[in-house]
């Protein structure tokens, strides 16, 4: 049997891609296609890729021309794959003529003619659109969001709003933004989409208003502190045909998503336990809002969605019960909380601290090994898969672009441009589940004070 291998991004799959795959298929009996993953594309400067790797794989598979699909993760992988799969022919488009001649040492290299008059670059240019974003709330996160938006293709912050007009003016002038809205309602009217970075208790009402006006919404986490409210918001977004995403930056981080993919593929066996911790050792002077009971302060409301993320992504939304143990300060705000979540075949725990320091790592325990992500795991740039036989251990390294908000902005804009109503990185069902945990804590169900 003659094996053929080819590689590509396959963004906005078009007839040129299909013709190339057909020509490669005709060279042999078995066609292997390597699809570049999202992180590899970013490292090569392809920030304009419209479809994520799952969508691109599905599109390639749907052509019916491919016998096997693999993911290209790193430079130099082509030689490894040729040897691993005993490949006879490496095929690539003629626009790469001469680039891969070095592979002749390992197999035959064939440069295939490209289809004239069509390319992903041309399709992107024809369909290019700019998403005009209004920023509501000009606090710490918004001040990082605006510079991050400038590195994302098709994202443009057009206006800002804050209850404190002086703060809004300062942020606008610093970032070269000409428009300051006098109200949240005016901001919504000015823009295609709204980024909501106001205090927690504003999220539900502001998100609902923006969705009712037919605007796309990227809302800072937590989206809502009540599961029914979160469910209502996602239903409203669906009804209005707009995008609603919860801005949990870890959910859209390339390294974190690769970790989830590897664990779900069974590399550490069945997951039986997850332990995740997040903490910030700040002074109370720095944590005015975060420790204010009138503004939904406390460690669980402030940071709870982060350790809940890997638990829900890997174990699902159907937990049997949750017990929450908290140490409260004199104002009745939790400065430390620990939760135990029980599933049918697994148990997980999360720790949160504001003014209390924990290790801050993530451990996923499996029947064949475990995944270890060191602190601060929520800014994942490195993790390990570890086994009983240490010779099998594997380390994974990635680039994390601080402060990491560009990943959620890119996913938000990608959903809008590609008419996707939600992201697989953080689905409505998962977001609603997080809100129900917040609701349980607020109602003090299965709650134990230390």
Q: What is the pTM of this model?
A: 0.80
Burial class (CB in 10 A: 0-12, 13-18, 19+), 375: middle
What are the percentages of helix, strand and coil residues in the chain, rounded to 5?
40, 25, 35
Residue 269, phi-psi category: left (phi > 0), alpha (psi -120 to 50), beta (remainder): left
Tokens representing 102? 């070095």
Low-confidence ranges of the chain (pLDDT < 50): 41, 43-48, 122-123, 126
State the pLDDT at residue 126: 46
State the pLDDT at residue 119: 53
Q: Are 384 and 362 in contact (CB under 8 A)?
A: no
Tokens representing 232? 């209502």
State the pLDDT at residue 116: 66
State the pLDDT at residue 52: 73
Rounded distance between C-alpha atoms, residue 179 and residue 134, angstroms:
10
Distances (CA, A) of 40 to 84, 175, 258: 20, 30, 11
Q: Are 131 and 216 in contact (CB under 8 A)?
A: yes
Contacts of residue 62, defined as CB under 8 A and 6 or more positions apart, other chains included, come to none
* Sheet containing 321-328: order of strands: 394-397, 382-386, 370-373, 362-366, 271-280, 347-354, 334-342, 321-328, 447-449
CA-based R_g, the chain, Å: 24
Find where tokens 């490894």 sit: 80
**All structural domains of the chain:** 3-123 (3.40.50.620), 129-250 (3.40.50.720), 254-399 (3.30.360.10)
State the pLDDT at residue 281: 81
State the pLDDT at residue 399: 77
Write b or e for each residue in 214-231: b if 16 or more Cβ atoms lie within 10 A of its Cβ, otherwise e. Answer: ebbbbbbbbbbbbbebbb
Condensed to tens digits (0 to 9), the pLDDT of residues 115-136 reads: 765 555 544 554 567 899 999 9
Q: What is the pairing mode between strands 370-373 and 362-366?
A: antiparallel
């Amino acid at each position: 049997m003659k094996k053929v291998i080819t590689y590509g991004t396959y963004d906005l799959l078009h007839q040129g891609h299909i013709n190339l795959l057909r020509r490669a298929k005709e060279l042999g009996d078995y066609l292997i296609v390597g699809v570049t993953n999202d992180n590899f594309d970013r490292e090569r400067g392809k920030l304009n890729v419209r479809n994520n790797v799952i969508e691109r794989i599905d599109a390639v598979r749907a052509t019916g021309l491919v016998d096997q699909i693999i993911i290209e993760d790193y430079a130099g992988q082509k030689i490894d794959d040729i040897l691993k799969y005993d490949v006879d022919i490496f095929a690539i488009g003629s626009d790469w003529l001469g680039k891969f001649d070095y592979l002749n040492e390992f197999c035959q290299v064939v440069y295939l003619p490209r289809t004239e008059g069509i390319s992903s670059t041309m399709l992107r240019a024809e369909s290019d659109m700019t998403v005009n974003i209004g920023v509501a709330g000009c606090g710490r996160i918004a001040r990082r969001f605006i510079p991050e938006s400038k590195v994302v293709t098709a994202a443009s912050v057009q206006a800002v709003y804050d209850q404190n007009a002086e703060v809004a003016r300062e942020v606008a002038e610093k970032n070269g933004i000409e428009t300051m809205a006098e109200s949240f309602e005016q901001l919504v009217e000015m823009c295609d989409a709204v980024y909501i970075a106001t205090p927690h208790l504003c999220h539900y009402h502001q998100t609902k208003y923006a969705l009712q006006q037919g605007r796309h919404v990227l809302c800072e986490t937590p989206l809502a502190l009540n599961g029914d409210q979160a469910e209502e918001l996602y239903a409203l977004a669906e009804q209005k045909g707009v995008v609603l995403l919860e801005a949990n930056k870890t959910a859209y981080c390339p390294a974190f998503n690769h970790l989830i993919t590897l664990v779900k593929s069974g590399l550490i066996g069945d997951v039986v336990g997850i332990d995740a911790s997040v903490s910030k050792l700040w002074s109370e002077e720095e944590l005015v809002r975060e420790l204010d009971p009138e503004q939904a302060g406390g460690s669980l409301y402030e940071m709870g969605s982060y350790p809940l993320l890997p638990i829900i992504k890997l174990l699902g939304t159907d937990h049997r019960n949750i017990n929450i143990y908290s140490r409260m300060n004199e104002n009745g705000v939790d400065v430390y909380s620990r939760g135990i979540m029980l599933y049918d075949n697994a148990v997980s725990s999360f720790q949160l601290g504001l003014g209390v320091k924990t290790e801050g790592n993530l451990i996923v325990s499996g029947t064949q090994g475990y995944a270890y992500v060191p602190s601060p795991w929520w800014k994942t740039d490195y993790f390990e898969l570890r086994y009983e036989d240490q010779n099998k251990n594997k380390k994974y390294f990635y680039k994390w672009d601080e402060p990491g908000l560009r990943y959620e902005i890119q996913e938000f804009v990608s959903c809008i441009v590609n008419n996707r109503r939600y992201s697989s990185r953080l689905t409505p069902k998962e977001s609603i589940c997080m809100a129900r945990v917040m609701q349980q804590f607020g109602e003090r169900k299965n709650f134990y004070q230390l």
